[in-house]
Amino acid sequence: MFRAKHSITLLFNANKVFDRQVIEGIGHYLQSSKVDWDVYLEEDFLCRLEHIHEWGGDGIIADFDDMNIERALAGTSKPIVGVGGSYSKAADYPAVPYVATDNFALVNAAYEHLKRKGLDRFAFYSVPTDEQHRWATERENAVKQLTAQDGYDCQIYQGHCTRPETWQYAMNRLTDWLQSLPKPIGIIAVTDSRARHLLQACEHLGIVVPDNVSIIGIDDDDIARFLNRISLSSVTQGCFEMGYKAAKLLHTQLNNIDVGHKRILVPPVGVASRQSTDFKALRDPYVIQAMHYIRRHATRGAKVEQVTDFVGISRSNLEQRFRAERGHSIHTELHNQKLAKACKMLLDTQVNPIEIANICGYPSLQYMYAVFKRHFCQTPKEYRESRGEAMNHLAINN
Which amino acid is residue 236, in one-letter code? T
Residue 237 CA, distance from chain mean position: 8
β-pairing, 233-236 vs 270-272, is: antiparallel
Cβ atoms of 250 and 57 closer than 8 Å: no
Kindly report the three-state secondary structure assignment for every residue of 229-258: CCCCEEEECCHHHHHHHHHHHHHHHHCCCC
The CATH class for the domain spanning 6-102+239-269 reads: alpha beta
Q: What is the pLDDT of residue 14?
A: 79
Second-level CATH architecture of 285-386: Orthogonal Bundle (1.10)
The reported pTM is 0.74
* Fold agreement (6-102+239-269, 103-236+272-277): yes
Q: What percentage of the chain has pLDDT greater than the value 70?
A: 91
Whole-angstrom distance, CA of residue 22 vs CA of residue 314:
54
pLDDT for 249 beyond 80:
yes
Q: What is the dihedral of CA 16, 252, 95, 90, to 10 degrees?
A: -80
Cβ atoms of 325 and 286 closer than 8 Å: no
pLDDT in tens, 118-166: 888 999 999 999 888 999 999 999 999 999 999 999 999 999 988 888 8
Cβ atoms of 342 and 357 closer than 8 Å: yes
pLDDT for 367 beyond 50:
yes
Q: What is the pLDDT of residue 396?
A: 37
Tell me which of 3.40.50.11540, 3.40.50.2300, 1.20.140.10, 3.40.50.300 is the CATH number of domain 103-236+272-277.
3.40.50.2300
Which amino acid is residue 48, in one-letter code? R
pLDDT for 398 beyond 70:
no
Q: What is the pLDDT of residue 282?
A: 72
Cβ atoms of 125 and 193 closer than 8 Å: no
Whole-angstrom distance, CA of residue 197 vs CA of residue 134:
21
How many C-alpha atoms does 369 have within 13 Å on its Cβ side?
7
Cite the beta strand spans of the chain per DSSP E.
Answer: 6-11, 37-41, 59-63, 80-85, 98-101, 122-125, 154-157, 185-189, 213-218, 233-236, 263-266, 270-272
Whole-angstrom distance, CA of residue 317 vs CA of residue 325:
13
Say how many C-beta atoms besides its own lie within 10 A of residue 387's C-beta. 15
Task: Enumerate the domain spans of the chain.
Answer: 6-102+239-269, 103-236+272-277, 285-386
Cβ atoms of 117 and 279 closer than 8 Å: yes
The least confident of 38-47, 200-209, 352-361 is 38-47
Q: b/e string for 143-181 if b means 16 or more Cβ within 10 A?
A: beebbeeeeeebbebbbbeeeeeeeeeebeebbebbeeb
Q: What is the pLDDT of residue 235?
A: 97
Whole-angstrom distance, CA of residue 200 vs CA of residue 209:
11
pLDDT in tens, 59-95: 999 999 988 888 888 878 889 999 999 999 999 999 9
How many C-alpha atoms does 32 have within 13 Å on its Cβ side?
12
DSSP 194: H
Question: What does the pLDDT average to over 261-283?
Answer: 89
pLDDT for 390 beyond 60:
no
- Indicate the pLDDT class of residue 185, thresholds 50, 70 and 90: very high
- Indicate the pLDDT class of residue 41, thresholds 50, 70 and 90: confident
Select the more confidently predicted residue: 106 or 38.
106
Mean pLDDT (the chain, rounded) = 89
Which amino acid is residue 278, in one-letter code? D
Q: What is the pLDDT of residue 392?
A: 44
